[in-house]
Structure 1
Amino acid sequence: MKHQIQFILLFIFSANSLLAQTSSNPEKRIDSLFSKYNANTSGVAVGIVQDGKIIFEKGYGSANLEYNIPITPKTVFNVGSVSKQFTTFSIFLLEKQGKISLDDDIRKYIPELPVYEKTITIRHLCSHTSGLKDQWSLLTLAGWRMDDVITSEQVLKLVTKQKELNFAPGSQFKYSNTGFTLLTEIVKRVSGKSFSTFVKENIFDPLGMENSLIYDDNEKIVKNRAYSYGNENGIYSKRNLNSSSVGPTNVYTTVEDLSKWTANFENPKIGDVAFIKHFNERSSLDNGDPAILAVSDGETIYHAKGQFMRNYKGINVYNHTGSDAGFKSYLGRFQDNKLSIILLSNDEDFVAYKAGMNIAEFYLADKFKKREKVTETQQKAEEKPKPTPTANLKQYEGKFENVELSSIFTTKIIDGKLTMTHNRLSDAVLTEVDKDKFTGAITFGVEVNFQRNKKGEITGLSITNFGATNVKFSKIK
């Protein structure tokens, strides 16, 4: 019995000791966080940078499930929207060289764009305040699928046909990938080089980012690259990435290379301290108000040139996530603490921001301030009565065309439900939410509003999704 008690006490002591080591050892906590990944799963590459040097790097899971190739810190990933900071940095380099001004009219460089009532400037493109409808939203409504081959040239051609904006330039903040495609076109036309060449010569090469590239050709061979996967009920399937549209996405890089990128913000090899400070400044609307993404947990999230900035528990952090065709990424710079966190994943379900901030807690818990409880006045929303289903759904049937998108949607009753069809997209069942207003899903969630003339006849409809407001379709039949 005595030996049993000694064994139990020894076991408890060992377990508590191991737990203490794990809780005080950030690296072991990272191992625990990603313990679900193995040779038979997709996974994530992790890099932690302190004072400009990597203090932890590791891969979890497989870069290629067909050949069970492991993820390492040298594995190349598409970083999705983390690409945007490289695009804006390129623009700022051109400004530093005196070749452009952020307040230039974008039509000075891309004259084929429509003349809008108010001028769109380069600054508007950099700060998501241009009012331009999002390219992925437009492509979807034009009948494109996200696995189609999509080039920057095709996006530009589509954008030049858009005569209406979401809002007046400089008056609001609304995330728009379109602006970053146009920024790469400006870089190309001003520098006389392709965007990929400009970034290689002015960013990648000077920083020694040897395994980084701009993926502007969907047939390009990329050594050591990861492939992305989805997982449904334990069964993996590949995600297709055929887009070669650059600017908003399609920087391919590694954890090791991104560590060199983050180090440049502390000890600049490209630019200088004043340049970095200028780049990190918060974006603003034309009236001087800050460009705000959201307010979360009582903390305001500001936009700052291809990245977002917030004061998180008393510490300033610049970060951005990325998501493209099953690839997920997080890049966070806790600049005052000289700490950067890099996460690159080929797991479609990876929640990059949450994982990044969890890891920040591992390293900065003793420096974070305890949040004060945010109290908000809770007002019970007035419940609207549910609309009585329209007896005559047939009145909404018809064909509707948008000439700018070269796209036609048909609405018809299928199995008693009003359904929206397109010759290249999946059918979307529409649910009535108000008079002449319906919701559904055309790749992304949409709101569909039918328009009537003075006689009460339906003459058209407008579609709003996450990045495009009131895209108008005229009834043609």
Structure 2
Amino acid sequence: MNRSLPLVALLLWGPTNLFAQKRPDLKKLDAYIADAVVEFDQPGLAVGIVKDGALVWSNGYGRLDLARPEPVTANTIFYCASISKAFTACAVGLLVDEGKLQWTDLVREHMPEFATPLPFVTDQFMVKDLLCHRSGWDTFDGDLLWYGTDYDQREILARHAHEPMTLPFRDTFGYSNLMYIAAAQLIERVSGMTWDRFITTRIFAPLGMERSLVETADLAHMTNVALPHVRKGQNPDAPQKSMPYQPLRGADGACGVLSTVNDLARWDAMWADEGKVNGKPFLSEASYNTITTSHLAMGHEGAALGWFTEQRHGETVITHSGGMPGFILNHAVVPDRDLAVIALGNGESYSVFAITNKILDLYLGDGKADPVADMLPRLARRKEQEQERVAARAQARVPGTTPTAQADQLKGTYADKVYGRATITVEAGTPRLTFDPAKDLFTGALTHWHYDTWKWEHADPFLEPGYITFQFDTDHRITGFKVDLHSPDFHFHKLDFKTLP
């Protein structure tokens, strides 16, 4: 999942300056970042700068877990979320270099079961279409299929094939985690190795990324691991608390990589040197160029393969952020300057973007930009708008109403044609809604809100409560329900549960 998309309006780039500083004052930068950690209320942060193939500066700030004293360092492991997408694109590039497939191969040549709702799109879908967000699905379509569910990747993709497409194929941007899940399956089909094994043996090992991994279960044997921090129900006034890692195995390819600033410095150095390691090709020039070239224009940006491209101070920058409950992260590479910036955070803070911008301005601009000062007022206004939205919901509640269907009448099994089944049980007079594929995450009591709408206090510590409104036929028998759960990341509003016999 990439949660940086709503941030575009928050980012303010400085003007181009051809007389960029050659030797940034890193002591001042360190103080600037330390202040930013406080201003953004960032639990923990690791930052690194790669120049001319080496990690020339790095530091850690804050703590691994706010409930414990251990500090963040450049060797702290973070969940990298959508930063993983470039690893998936690189894996495909390595297979192209071996002659095992081509960027223009039709996906069904290697995965006959691959499908979309539109036969023409299914038949014309190329390998590179999986990686540049031009599939025809809207941004984040299908993400509920992997979030907290027990579906494997094949079932996720089979269900997603029934999700209607609302955008023109290859013409309009729609950020798709699901197509990267398909790419992970493609890698397995072509290489004979799972995505996990391929990334570990073909990328981590040769690049010397010794503390990088792809299994959250392996964290039990690791030290110096950053825990995700969330505010309960995305309430900006709630205290930040750490939470356990979510496995999310079904999302491999779209996310899955866990790494450190020290290890990502090796990874980004390869991209900054145009696909080379110690002067030798890791990726062919052709594959490197294909991956880092825009395949879909997006105003001043472009969607490359596992990366986005943009112009900054007259330089081409390839970049990708990452977001998952409790983590927001960012990195950017400037190949023509052999420069990369890494910023990893274990909270719901946008400090990583301000810090990336500051460092890029130090190296590419005049060094005078103050992204923290620029961003904080915008975030304050955004917080006000969210508070107004929540207050409006409470104000719209009509007191004194009673439901036309009582708790016992809500009991039963329901199904959404794409997502799957949900069950309502009644315990001690209180109805309880569970999404069957995500029994641990999406389960909780229903309390009457007004009319035939009930508030759903599910178990996910990240998302805010939902509101369930029941539907009826002419004879006032329950026919189903809709879900109103505000989230910029997951399309609850598209769920349409119907009663099953």
TM-score scaled by length of structure 2: 0.67
Deviations 1:219-275 (A, max 9, x none): 653343222334687955222213142212221111122111121123333113333
User: After the TM superposition, which residues 139-218 of structure 1 pair with which residues of structure 2 at under 5 Å, given as runs?
Assistant: 139=146, 144=148, 154-167=152-165, 169-215=169-215, 217=217
Equivalent position to 1:281, from 290, 293, 297? 293
Instruction: Determine if the alignment matches structure 1 residue 253 to structure 2 residue 259.
Output: yes
Q: Provide the residue aligned with 2:132 in structure 1.
A: 127
CA distance, structure 2, for counterparts of residue 92 and residue 242 of structure 1: 29
Question: What is the CA distance between 1:342 and its match in structure 2?
Answer: 0.5
Instruction: Letter of the 1:363 partner, please give it.
Output: Y
Structure 1 residue 304: deviation in Å? 1.2
* C-alpha separation in 2, matches of 1:114 and 1:190: 18
Matched, 1:425 2:429: no
1:89 to partner: Cα distance: 1.0
Q: In structure 1, what is the equivalent of residue 422 of structure 2? A: 408
The answer (yes or no) to whether the contact 2:328–2:346 under 8 Å persists in 1 is yes
Pairwise CA RMSD: 4.4
Q: CA deviation at 1:367?
A: 8.3
Whether contact under 8 Å (1:431, 1:440) holds in the other structure is: no
Deviation at 1:404, TM superposition (A): 4.4
1:69-124 per-residue CA deviation (whole Å, 9 max, x = no partner) reads: 22221222111111111011111211222212333343444444446423143222
Give the Cα–Cα distance (whole angstroms) in 1 for the partners of residues 231 and 482 of structure 2: 35
Alignment partner, residue 345 of structure 1? 345
Do 2:211 and 2:263's aligned partners in 1 also have CA atoms closer than 8 Å? Answer: yes
Question: Matches of 2:133 and 2:190 in 1, distance apart?
Answer: 21
Structure 1: gaps of 5 or more residues: 1-22, 145-149, 285-289, 293-298, 370-386, 411-418
Worse-superposed segment, 169-178 or 454-463: 454-463
Q: Which has the higher strand share?
A: 1
User: CA separation of 1:331/1:115 partners in 2, compared to 1, >3 Å: closer, same or farther?
Assistant: closer
Aligned positions, number: 408
* Partner SS, residue 422 of structure 2: strand
Q: Which moved more, 1:461-470 or 1:113-122?
A: 461-470
Letter in 1 for 2:128: R
The share of aligned pairs that are identical, in percent, is 23
- After superposition, residues 31-180 of structure 1 pair within 5 angstroms as 31-35=31-35, 42-65=43-66, 68-114=69-115, 116-118=117-119, 119=122, 120-130=125-135, 131=137, 134-139=141-146, 144=148, 154-167=152-165, 169-180=169-180
1:281 is matched by which residue type in structure 2?
T
- Structure 1 residue 337: Cα displacement: 2.8
Match of 1:241 in 2: 245
**Paired residues of 1:46 and 1:57 also in contact (CA < 8 A):** yes
**Distance in structure 1 (CA, Å) of the matches to 2:330 and 2:42:** 20
- Contact kept in structure 2, 1:300 and 1:310, CA below 8 Å: yes
Q: Equivalent residue of 1:161, what SS?
A: helix
Counterparts of 1:440 and 1:311 in 2: how far apart (Å)? Answer: 45
Kindly tell me: are residues 461 and 364 of structure 1, through their superposed partners in 2, closer, same or farther at Cα, counting changes over 3 Å? Answer: same
More helix as a share of residues:
2
Matches within 5 A, 1:309-324: 309-324=309-324
| C-alpha distance in 2 between matches for 1:111 and 1:239 | 40
Indicate the SS of the match to 2:209.
coil
Residues 1:264 and 2:264 aligned together? no
Q: Distance in 2 between matches of 1:235 and 1:460?
A: 36
Structure 2 contact 82–321 (Cα < 8 Å) conserved: yes
Distance in 2, Cα, partners of 1:222 & 1:63: 13
CA contact (8 A) 1:217 1:244 kept: no
After the TM superposition, which residues 385-396 of structure 1 pair with which residues of structure 2 at under 5 Å, given as runs? 394=404
Using the TM superposition, give the Cα deviation of residue 171 of structure 1 relative to its aligned residue in structure 2, in angstroms.
4.6
How far 1:355 sits from its partner (Å)? 2.6
**Cα separation, 1, equivalents of 2:500 and 2:187:** 41
2:159 partner amino acid: K
Distance 1:253 1:116 in 2: 36
Distance between the aligned counterparts of 1:467 and 1:339, measured in 2?
Answer: 34
Question: Do the aligned residues in 2 keep the contact of 1:313 with 1:368 (CA within 8 Å)?
Answer: no
Mark the CA change 1:211 to 1:218 in structure 2 (over 3 Å): closer, same or farther.
Answer: closer
**Paired position in structure 2 for 1:414:** none
Query: Which has the larger Rg?
Result: 1
Report the Cα distance in structure 1 between the residues aligned to 2:161 and 2:239, rounded to whole angstroms.
45
Aligned to 2:359: 359
Give the residue type in structure 1 aligned to 2:421. Answer: S
Correspondence list, 1:7-22, <5 A: none
Are 1:226 and 2:240 counterparts? no
Instruction: Output the CA distance in 2 between the equivalents of 1:185 and 1:365.
Output: 42
- Give the partner amino acid of 1:197: R
What corresponds to 1:474 in structure 2? 498
What amino acid sits opposite 1:304 in the alignment?
A
Work out the CA distance in 2 between the residues paired with 1:134 and 1:205: 34
Give secondary structure in 2 for the equivalent of 1:34.
helix
Q: CA deviation at 1:407?
A: 2.1
**What SS is found at the alignment partner of 2:91?**
helix
Q: Secondary structure at the match of 1:56?
A: strand
- Which structure has more relative contact order (CA 8 Å, sep 6+)? It is 2
The separation in 1 between residues aligned to 2:88 and 2:189, in whole angstroms, is 14
Q: What is residue 13 of structure 2 aligned with on the other side?
A: none
Q: CA deviation at 1:164?
A: 2.1
Structure 1 position 341, deviation (Å): 0.8
**SS of alignment partner, residue 55 of structure 2:** strand
Equivalent residue letter for 2:43: S
- Kept after mapping to 1: 8 A contact 2:64/2:72: yes
CA distance in 1 between partners of 2:447 and 2:310 (Å): 39
1:418-463: per-residue Cα shift (whole Å, max 9, x none)? x99546435689999xxx9999998768999999999999966666
In structure 2, what residue type is equivalent to 1:34?
A
What secondary structure is seen at the aligned counterpart in 1 of 2:128? helix
Asked if structure 1 preserves the Cα contact closer than 8 Å seen for 2:128 and 2:305, the reply is: no
TM-score (norm 1): 0.70
Residues 42 and 346, structure 2, Cα contact 8 Å, conserved in 1: no
Q: Distance in 1 between matches of 2:179 and 2:448?
A: 31
- Structure 2 portions without partners, runs of 5+: 1-22, 277-281, 370-395, 425-430, 436-441
Q: 1:301 to 1:28 in 2, by over 3 A?
A: same
